[in-house]
Structure 1
């Protein structure tokens, strides 16, 4: 083994990590680009971002705007029993099920005029995360992948793009960009990052020998099929091995948090996911998505949304306070998004149905001027009445806050130009 390893030239020695470890580690990590995409062409734009990081909260299933951020207290009883409460900003009211966020309205920007063209969960989720309608011939990147490809990481050891909860195969991964920009998926925030320790029977010397052997076995394939995509996998494995021996792994360990902090976030998977997101952002992870399902309320809408609302109210209130007191809120954009809203009318199962024509999302921190509402729906919450905001507009706003060039095209492998948020226009007036 040692004799074979010594026969490798310097380039091969350097590359052996690029061609190995996938059978040994099984860890998918984003890697830092040595030369961020468009670094020269857009240096002026990228030099002064309003936000450095994003914590993207995705409420899967379609959050009812009428029972959360856009209640209609003067409508008929069929529109629901939820009451409204004042916030700490005069003239702005929210659902009574969001008392914590009501007290923190000075940090929030509510966008009540969201509208989508996609009314099914799969296509709506794809559209919200990528700004493009699904197409059979191409997969589009999510914002985390765009951020990594355009701007790169801030911590050279940790991944720059992480997804917590939900499914690792949910749309909005790397799309047509390189594999190394895909989010690292964490299913259970309590367990943190798994499969990062050596087997008890494998020491450092044994690991290096195994990697070198795997490299030699793969060398012929990689020489024959050399490509950017193949090399990107190599970057992933090299970063995985680097992380295995790094003290930064502690960022994934919630047990490092004091009990009183953990209690504020609560014991739910969602609460732990948001606490992990704060720890990751604090340690240089730039884009963290946290998923919370259960919002597909075709049945018993009011009871379900009440329970869901109190949970997100507690967790988001804790997250905002935590970031604020740690001095991270100004540089961290909190996004609360969902694929569409719910219908004003109540169906025969006491639920609300899909309603893409009008719904709400929320932004906080990251340069946002808090204490404002953008746009409005009609008296029933069924149609946008003022300042319609499309999905691409919303995503362009997130990209704008990060200093990303929303109008700079990137060529796909098939030669088609794509931009970070399609034709969306950022809502600059929110900042």
Structure 2
């Protein structure tokens, strides 16, 4: 039987293609009702220091004591020792020796703290600056970036999420075209992006033309944003299918030596893919690394995770610098909370939102600095307290986004990029 004569409907085909290629669905597109900025809004503007963001998310709660905020000679360290770095006065855990050599590029935020001590809530808070509500889903930073500045490459997604992080908030209450493309395995790229041999260009054009004709009356009768967005979804899928820029997703184009340097694990290859994507105009790429929920065997598991993080992030920093891209690319290393100074009976550390660390580099950030501090046990923040909205405001500031611009949800509630967060402008320069 000729496959073109089957009951595979035009709507299912193109909507399925859009979902596969762009990470969106027709139903969510039609359900989006985000409103624009208020008529009286007069957002402040700042000169951007970065064009792109590569966001490295350590899912599960990365231990600050065993990575970026060690406490030399303290009993809270357990088996973890500290090492010197390239910057006098900055010491890191022995688990990140390669990043220690890049300390001159890093701004280490040791005063991070959160109000959320559970994984799902903390993850959501870190990505959106808002606590979860049953009645609304808030946009992530990649969606805010696209909303205000649109895409960097018209034929590729505006943002990409690499890794198996199913709870990513995505576009929130914005239009679904701002949803990131989700890629589980960076080495697989985008599956099923090319049509089968029997489905020729002429057949595809004919079906698409027929679909538009059948939709024409409905679209003209209901000429509103959400209906137009549904049509845009079709157009985006087609553009991406035909784009020569899809080569950005092909890691086989990279030399073996480069791939080995990043690490052959999924996180390492995800970071390499992130570099390729920003080179091709994708402005916001997130790469996640899970497994940091070390209630058990912290001193076995953290070194294993740090091997992946250390190789990939250090390679990314060096690669971007060598290509002249580090100044325009902001790298953010984030996690939902830290781990307790106290070591539990399972040789692990428990959830600790009261004090932890994040790291920023590139994109106008001044390297070789530490901002904020926890006490001698790594328990409480005693200097440079930085909330989650403050970190996100700093990212928005680097991108030149209007931090005080108000957009409205479907229920007409006002929201800003980082809630009440204040950017850490002292990190730049």
Provide the TM-score with structure 1 as the length reference: 0.90
Rounded to whole Å, the distance in 2 between the matches of 1:277 and 1:24 is: 23
Call closer, same or farther: CA 1:18–1:381 in 2, change over 3 Å. same
TM superposition shift of 1:106: 0.5
Gaps of 5+ in 1: 1-16, 32-36
Matched residue, 1:415? 412
Matched residue, 1:213? 210
Residues 1:400 and 2:397 aligned together? yes
Matched residue, 2:19? 26
Matched residue, 1:4? none
Rounded to whole Å, the distance in 2 between the matches of 1:151 and 1:119 is: 33
TM superposition shift of 1:230: 3.1
TM superposition shift of 1:231: 2.1
CA deviations 1:117-156 (Å, max 9, x no partner) are 0000000000000000001111000000000000111211
Matched residue, 1:45? 45
TM superposition shift of 1:245: 1.6
The question of whether the paired residues in 1 share the 8 Å contact of 2:43 and 2:403 is answered with no
The number of equivalent residue pairs is 406
CA deviations 1:258-280 (Å, max 9, x no partner) are 11111111110000000000000
1:108 to 106, 109, 128: 106
Question: Match of 1:26, SS?
Answer: helix
Residues 1:118 and 2:111 aligned together? no
Rounded to whole Å, the distance in 2 between the matches of 1:309 and 1:23 is: 38
The question of whether the paired residues in 2 share the 8 Å contact of 1:20 and 1:211 is answered with no
Rounded to whole Å, the distance in 1 between the matches of 2:415 and 2:167 is: 20
Matched residue, 2:55? 56
CA deviations 1:290-335 (Å, max 9, x no partner) are 0100000000001100111122111111000000000000000000
Call closer, same or farther: CA 1:407–1:210 in 2, change over 3 Å. same
Question: Match of 2:65, SS?
Answer: helix
Question: Match of 2:15, SS?
Answer: coil
Question: Match of 2:202, SS?
Answer: helix
The question of whether the paired residues in 1 share the 8 Å contact of 2:21 and 2:240 is answered with no
The question of whether the paired residues in 1 share the 8 Å contact of 2:113 and 2:381 is answered with yes
Call closer, same or farther: CA 1:43–1:352 in 2, change over 3 Å. closer
CA deviations 1:376-409 (Å, max 9, x no partner) are 0001101001110000000000000000011111
Matches within 5 A, 1:367-406: 367-406=364-403
Question: Match of 2:331, SS?
Answer: strand
TM superposition shift of 1:29: 2.7
Call closer, same or farther: CA 1:28–1:134 in 2, change over 3 Å. farther
Call closer, same or farther: CA 1:30–1:348 in 2, change over 3 Å. closer
Call closer, same or farther: CA 1:333–1:30 in 2, change over 3 Å. farther
Rounded to whole Å, the distance in 2 between the matches of 1:284 and 1:24 is: 22
Question: Match of 1:385, SS?
Answer: strand
Provide the TM-score with structure 2 as the length reference: 0.90
Call closer, same or farther: CA 1:24–1:342 in 2, change over 3 Å. closer
The question of whether the paired residues in 1 share the 8 Å contact of 2:143 and 2:179 is answered with yes
Gaps of 5+ in 2: 1-9, 25-35
How big is the alpha-carbon RMSD for the aligned residues of Structure 1 and Structure 2?
2.2
